[in-house]
Amino acid sequence: MLCRLTAALIFGTMLTSLSAAAPPLKALIVDGQNNHNWVETTPYLKKHLEETGLFTVDVATSPAQGEDMSGFKPNFAAYDVVVSNYTGDAWPAATQKALEDYVGGGGGLVVFHAANNAFPEWKEFNRMAGLGGWGGRNEKDGPYVRWRDGKIVRDTTPGPGGGHGPQHEFQIVVREPDHPITRGLPNVFMHSADELYNRLRGPAENMTVLATAFSPKEQRGTGEHEPQLMTIAYGEGRVFHIAYGHAGKQCQSVAFIVPFQRGSEWAATEKVTQAVPQDFPGPDQPSLRP
């Protein structure tokens, strides 16, 4: 009897460890068009997600620019999180509606760098992303959002949406240290040389700015603390928006990797179970992985 019980316990433990070995979450990266090198960055995004041990990752690659998009219908609903590495031709109405239904119904979306340039005409996408740049965006699309005097300010001053100066190293400054994505991170951490997006504009509804970066005028910036990590509540769903990560080199910066991994888990589950790694940077030096 005791032996049988012991055997049952051991077998039960084996079953538990077997099931723990399979990543519980499914992620879908969407790419195929971008004014950036998506062919280079998607493998980094995939690797970063897989390395958490939390995700299996599929990639949906759209037809090339100008080609027939009518058959592009990723099954968003089959995933826990969708990562957009896409900006380009409009998606079919049914695909737009499918993403709206998926996020609105409780799904997770990650908006990665130039994905916030996408779809200036698609109202619901802009509500999901919170902020965007270029594509004719201006005051009609929503306010600038900046950190001023200890709080987030929505600035409706007319002007273009989207800009950046030359690539340079910059500090990310956490403004919401109690959010699951930022909890345990240093308050200030250094990112490798990258484009510091500024002048983003959008609906910015139900948006929480988790972290900002100061955009220096001497780097053709704004002299403002510009939002870099954001969360947006859209219906029952969650959006994580990371404004930096220009190319493969920037995707090797731990200041990119870790917020991306944590933000993706949060978008999928509303929780973050990942520990902050030893190589996470402090305020002075970027930290790079091979």
Contact positions vs Zn ion (CB under 5 A): 195, 246
Closest approach of Zn ion to the CB of residue 36, in Å: 5
SS3 state at 170:
strand
The residue among 238 and 246 lying less far from Zn ion, judged by its C-beta, is 246
CB 204 within 8 A of CB 139: no
The residue among 57 and 243 lying less far from Zn ion, judged by its C-beta, is 243
Closest approach of Zn ion to the CB of residue 117, in Å: 9
- Short-list 228, 231, 243, CA closest to 180: 231
Closest approach of Zn ion to the CB of residue 247, in Å: 7
Rg (CA), the chain: 20
CB 53 within 8 A of CB 84: no
Closest approach of Zn ion to the CB of residue 207, in Å: 21
The residue among 26 and 220 lying less far from Zn ion, judged by its C-beta, is 220
Which run of H or E residues covers position 128? Answer: helix 123-129
Q: What is the dihedral of CA 240, 207, 187, 163, to 10 degrees?
A: 80
- Short-list 234, 205, 207, 211, CA closest to 82: 234
The residue among 195 and 265 lying less far from Zn ion, judged by its C-beta, is 195
Residue nearest to Zn ion (CB): 246
The residue among 115 and 185 lying less far from Zn ion, judged by its C-beta, is 115
Closest approach of Zn ion to the CB of residue 249, in Å: 11
